[in-house]
Amino acid sequence: MSLTDFFAMGGYGFYVWASYAMTVVLAAIEVVAVRTRFRAARTAQLDENAG
Amino acid sequence: MNSINWFRFASPASFFPVAGKLARWFAVLAVPLAAAGLWLGLVVAPTDAQQGDAYRIIFIHVPAAWMSMFIYLVMAAWCAVSLTLNARLSAMMAQALAPTGALFTLIALWTGALWGKPAWGTYWAWDARMTSELILLFLYLGYMALRHAIDDVRRADRASAVLALVGAVNVPIIYFSVQWWNTLHQGATVSLTAAPKMASIMLIALMLMTFAAWSYAIAVAMVRVRAIILERERRTSWAGPLAGAAR
C-alpha cells in the first residue's frame, strides 16, 4: 500500500480525515484551554499569597 | 476504625494532589493507547467489504459516542451526591466533567455526519438516535450556561445538579433509540450481551481507542478539577500552600 492510497482511503479520504482532524483539533484546544485555566488559577492564588 | 477513611478524599484539599497524580498517569497512558489504536484502525485493519474505508470513522465515532453518554451519567451521579450530601468536591467533579462531555458529544455528532454522508447519502436526519444525541449536547451546554449565570457557586451547584439529573433520562433514550424506534442509525455493533458483529482486529482497535478516550477524559477532567478547586477555594487558608507546591 502506498502513502497516496493511504491518504485516499479508497475514495473516502475527505470523510475519514475530516473526522480524525476535527477530533485532534478539538482535543488539542481542550488540552490547551484546561492547562491555561489551571495556570491562571494557580497564578491568582500565588498573588493572593504574596499580597 | 482500622478501615480506610474514604471521606478523607472528599475534601478538596486532600484530593488536589491526588488529582494531580491521576492527571499525569492517565495523560501518559492515553498516548500509547491512542497510537496503538490509530495504527491498528487506520493501517492494519482490513477494508470493509460493504463500506470500503469509510467505516474507519468508527474508531473515533463509537468511543466518542460512548464517552458522551458515560460522562453524562458520571456527571449526574456526582450531582446526586452533591445534592444529597451537600459535598463541595462532588459538585466540582460534575463541573469539571461537563466541558469534556460536551466535547465528546460534538465529536460524536461531527463524525456521525461525516460517516452518514457516504453510508446513507445524508449528513443529517431527524432520526431518534441523532436527535437525542443533539439534545445531549444541549443538556451539557445548558448545564454550563446555568452554572455560568448564577454568581453564588453553592446555588449554581444545586440548580445545575437538578438540571443534570432531570436530563439524565435522555441517556437511556439515546442508548435504546435504535431498538425503540425504526431509525436510520444502525443498531449496536458491540454490546455486553451478544458476540460482537465485527472482525477481532477491528474490535481490538475500537477497544484501544475507547481506553484512550477514557484516559484522555480522566486526565483532562482532573486538571480541570484542580483549576476549579483553586478558583473556588481561593480565600481558604489551605489553598495557598497547594498552589505553591503545584506544578
List, for residues B127-171, the tens digit of each pLDDT value.
999 999 999 999 999 999 999 999 999 999 999 999 999 999 999
Domain boundaries, chain B: 17-47+59-245
Q: Nearest CA to B184 among B97, B123, B135?
A: B123
List, for residues B169-204, the tens digit of each pLDDT value.
999 999 999 889 887 888 877 766 666 667 789 999
Phi, psi at B52, each rounded to 5° = 65, -150
Q: Which three cell numbers stand for residue B226?
A: 484542580
Q: Which three cell numbers stand for residue B203?
A: 474490535
A30 touches chain B (CB under 8 A): yes
SS (H, E, C) chain A: CCHHHHHHHHHCHHHHHHHHHHHHHHHHHHHHHHHHHHHHHHHHHHHHHHC
Residue B230: closest CA among chain A residues belongs to which residue? A41
**Interchain contact, A26 vs B106, CB within 8 Å:** yes
Residue A43: closest CA among chain B residues belongs to which residue? B243
Domain boundaries, chain A: 22-51
Stated pTM of the model: 0.93
Q: What is the mean pLDDT of residues A14-34?
A: 98
Whether the per-residue pLDDT at B6 is higher than 80: the answer is no
**Interchain contact, B60 vs A20, CB within 8 Å:** yes
Q: Nearest CA to B33 among B221, B223, B213?
A: B213
**Interchain contact, A12 vs B52, CB within 8 Å:** yes
**Interchain contact, B118 vs A12, CB within 8 Å:** yes
Give B-chain residues touching A15 at CB under 8 angstroms. Answer: 54, 57, 114-115, 117-118
B196 touches chain A (CB under 8 A): no
Length of chain B: 247
Global ipTM:
0.94
- Lowest mean pLDDT segment, chosen from B28-42, B69-83, B113-127, B195-209: B195-209
Rounded to the nearest angstrom, the minimum Cα separation between A8 and chain B is: 9
Give B-chain residues touching A7 at CB under 8 angstroms. Answer: none
List, for residues B64-104, the tens digit of each pLDDT value.
999 999 999 999 999 999 999 988 999 999 999 999 999 99
